[in-house]
Structure 1
Amino acid sequence: MDGIEFERIHQRTIRKYIARQIDEGKYHFDDIHPSYTKGQDLSSFKEKVMTFFLNGNLQDIWLGYTSANPVLSWNGRTISFGVLLWKYPGQAFYDQDMITGVDTGQVYYLNLNLLMGIFNLPVAFEMITVNSIDKIIEFSYIDGNKSAGVQQVRFIDYGDDQTEIIHTSYYKSNSYIRDKWMYPYFHKRIV
């Protein structure tokens, strides 16, 4: 984590979040761990499922999602890209860098701009699955995040040149209010 160029990260919340991780002893990219591991029991997590349909065949939609520049994908009114740490080969990418596609071991640091900018929340997750055969992407919040859990995005051929996308989130935090009211509301707006 020593090689991170903090001056290239525009969001103060993300700079503080990463500095806190370093203070907690996370000195290397591979010291960052997802909060979810494959096969983990998710029965204690809240679940939110959203389904979307996109015009286009499965292969084209999948390729669009998996080859998109994350800087563009994760920038909008309510979310902004801070930095991507790619554990292997141990490299940081900033919003000015050219990044193509998603892959396992990528750790994304984003800023959520909530309540019209009154509240900014840093969030980080790691890509843990990019399965081009079953057309599944999974990413897990990292340890130390406000929320723990995993999100799965499944792409399904719906026929007639349409693709169904099922986005399932499993999440929990130490706050009943956050889990019951805030997470579902803001998650729906961001996705």
Structure 2
Amino acid sequence: MSAVAPIVSPIIKEKKLKINLKRIKSARTLEYLKKNALADISDLDKIVPLCYLEGIENDFLKHSKSYKLPYSVDDVWDAYINIPPAESWAGNRIGFSFSYNTDSKDFHYLHDQYHGLEVNQLIFIEIKLLFGLFKLAVTHHVNQISPEEKKIKLCYVEGGKSSGSQIITFKKISESESIVVHDTFYKSDSKFRDEKLYPFLHELIINQFHKNVRKYMDR
């Protein structure tokens, strides 16, 4: 009688999904990923948002800018949620690199079909200043999306130049007019940067972002 061979269960190693570096055009984003040792989803899942805590923290500086749009607040909200990042983060001052959702584990690269802004998305962009001579990689964490409050909250993340949040709220003026308020709460380790450089440069960047959304709606 021959011995029965034991059943050996195969050891299945979970393959970590890596960032597709070949689909990222921004040299600054690639440098940022390398510097912060971000190679796959397990690395991205460890990124820590450094949010401004509303009503609790008072040591952040504030920048505020409003944008009036000739559309209903519901239409404006829908546009900001669904505009592809390749269109919203585009132009001579900003560029979209890729995004990743820590909940769904989904990547989104340039030219991919877009399914809308989601909580816990990490959005990697490149900021271009001084006619493109100075470039900086920035990451936003989508911390909150509230259709009831008409509010989007983005946070900066650990490893960047600043901590804080960008809070975008949408308000009805009339049935055919709305106002978008973009409040930014920020701080870094440089008082000169925070007081002299950041407000001016940040406004240039968000102006282009909101201009892109208006262009998207006007089509």
Under a length normalisation based on structure 2, what TM-score does the superposition of the two structures give? 0.81
Q: Is the 8 A contact 1:29 1:90 kept in 2?
A: no
Q: Distance in 2 between matches of 1:150 and 1:18?
A: 21
Residue 67 of structure 1: aligned partner: 82
Residue segments in structure 2 that go unaligned for 5+ positions in a row: 1-15, 207-219
Residue 154 of structure 1: aligned partner: 169
Root-mean-square deviation over aligned CA pairs = 2.0
Q: Give every structure 1 segment of 4 or more consecutive aligned residues whose post-TM-superposition deviation is greater than 6 Å.
A: none
Residue segments in structure 1 that go unaligned for 5+ positions in a row: none
| Residues 133-142 or 65-74, more deviating | 65-74
Matches within 5 A, 1:92-171: 92-171=107-186
Give 1:160 deviation, angstroms.
4.7
Q: Is the 8 A contact 1:29 1:86 kept in 2?
A: no
- The structure where strand makes up a greater share of residues is 1
Give 1:10 deviation, angstroms.
0.7
Identity %: 25
Q: Distance in 2 between matches of 1:5 and 1:150?
A: 28
Cα-to-partner distance string for 1:116-171 (whole Å, 9 max, x where unaligned): 11110111010011100110000000111111100100000111511011110000
Residue 172 of structure 1: aligned partner: 187
Q: Which amino acid is 1:124 matched to?
A: T
Q: Distance in 1 between matches of 2:178 and 2:196?
A: 30
Alignment partner of 2:56: what SS? coil
Q: Distance in 2 between matches of 1:95 and 1:102?
A: 15
Larger radius of gyration: 2
Q: Is the 8 A contact 1:61 1:163 kept in 2?
A: yes
Residue 90 of structure 1: aligned partner: 105
Q: Which amino acid is 1:91 matched to?
A: D
Q: Distance in 2 between matches of 1:140 and 1:70?
A: 17
Residue 23 of structure 2: aligned partner: 8
